[in-house]
Amino acid sequence: MAFQPAPKVIRCMTNTPVVVREGATVYATGTHALVEDGQLLEQLMSSVGFCTEVEEDLIDAVTGLSGSGPAYAFMALDALADGGVKMGLPRRLAVRLGAQALLGAAKMLLDSEQHPGQLKDNVCSPGGATIHALHFLESGGFRSLLINAVEASCIRTRELQLMADQEKISPAALKKTLLDRVKLESPTVSTLTPCSPGKVLTRRPAPGSKKD
């Protein structure tokens, strides 16, 4: 396995909404990467959402926020829909209303460029239902839970990177390991199972193949 003596490396972090062209991608250029290389990547990733350059030491924090962020949103949406169902709404309608509320709120924020706290205040009428609901969320530590979730994801990302650095092996050993894993001599065809950021890819036998 041969490597260029001075490879051009660009480190990126994106997220799953790129599949609907609403993703968020950040990147950091390596020592030998040119400005033009970064511009090309930005042009490519901007076609599937937002893309910007950051310092490399910020990418782990980005992972905690926007890399894992869609999962936070899906969990919040699932809970909102459960609340709607509890109050009598059909499940399908509850999911649609919750999703539209999150989508609309995000669009309002991006279009207006107002602070999210101001937009939140705009929804709350004195003595109304929304301010009572927000008080309930605050008493349950809603903000702290989200802050801690971002921090936990970021810290785990750094732990995984440290583990990878400690397990570095030679290119020859890496090539042998890869060949052993795919078992080129075996008729079994293996496929990669998709996984979330920070998890290790696993292999599963193709349909119809025999187990060892």
Q: What is the pLDDT of residues 89-103, one digit of tens each?
A: 999 999 999 999 999
Stretch 156-183: mean pLDDT, rounded? 70
Report which of residues 129 and 182 the model is more confident about.
129
Predicted local confidence at residue 3, as pLDDT: 63
C-alpha distances in Å from residue 159, one per residue of 14, 146, 156: 19, 20, 5
Q: What is the dihedral of CA 92, 93, 95, 97, to 10 degrees?
A: 160
Biggest alpha carbon–alpha carbon distance for the chain: 72
52 contacts 26 by C-beta, under 8 angstroms: yes
Strands 202-205 and 49-53: unpaired
Contact 55, 28 (CB under 8 A): yes
pLDDT (average), residues 37-65: 97
pLDDT at residue 207 in the model: 53
Q: Confidence band (pLDDT; 50, 70, 90) for 198?
A: very low
The structural domains of the chain, ordered by start, are 69-154 (1.10.3730.10), 172-204 (no CATH)
pLDDT at 165: 82
Here the tokens at position 132 are 């009572």
- The pTM of this model reads 0.76
